[in-house]
Amino acid sequence: MADCALCNAMEDKSTTFYEGKLAAAIVLTHPVTEFHCLVLPKRHVTRLSELRADELKEMFGIMARMSSFIEESYPGSAVIAINRKGNSTQPHLHFHVFNSTVGGIRAMLAPALGKEFYPPYTKEELMHRAEEYRKFVSAKLTD
Ligand SMILES: [Zn+2]
């Protein structure tokens, strides 16, 4: 969809670290936590119930690999969250994958209480992260 920010974000090959037949994954410019990324269907879909089984399979494969990456890189654990129609800045269905900070998901919600988010990435940091994730996820996706 031409006017969708997430459809357009998948076109940026410097930050799209996985692109398969049906799904993609991108590093976020403004992460909530250090390893925050999005996994989304390539098809413009707005509701979970619109996803096909093959899209779900590919997306959950990416999320499982990113969860492993996070858990191998960070003392905490991975968290997966889904946007809800009407409760997101982007209508394109997407899953957030990120590391749980010390204090778990409650601490992650601290920005809503006036504390800072993880600092925004520079363009160089974004590209470095994308390359790091790309190597890990591609090596693990052998299906
Ligand atoms: Zn879209």
How confident is the model at residue 111, as a pLDDT?
61
39: domain CATH number? 3.30.428.10
> Each residue of 71-123: pLDDT tens digit?
888 887 888 888 766 666 788 999 999 888 666 666 666 665 565 566 778 88
Q: Which residues surround ligand 1, an ion (CB under 5 A)?
A: 1, 4, 6-7, 44, 92
Distance in Å, CA 38 to ligand 1 centroid: 13
pLDDT tens digits, one per residue of 5-17:
999 999 998 899 9
pLDDT of residue 86: 60
Residue 78 pairs with which residues in a beta bridge?
99
The rounded distance, in Å, linking the Cα atoms of 25 and 101 is 21
Task: Give the per-residue pLDDT at 7.
Answer: 94
Q: From ligand 1's centre to the CA of 65, what distance in Å?
A: 23
Q: How far is the CA of 126 from the centre of ligand 1 (A)?
A: 21
Q: Which domain holds residue 56?
A: 5-140
To the nearest whole percent, how much of the chain has pLDDT over 70? 81
User: Cα(114) to centroid of ligand 1, in Å?
Assistant: 30
Number of domains in the chain: 1
Please name the residues in contact with 94: beta carbons below 8 A apart, sequence gap of 6 or more: 6, 38, 39, 40, 82, 83, 88
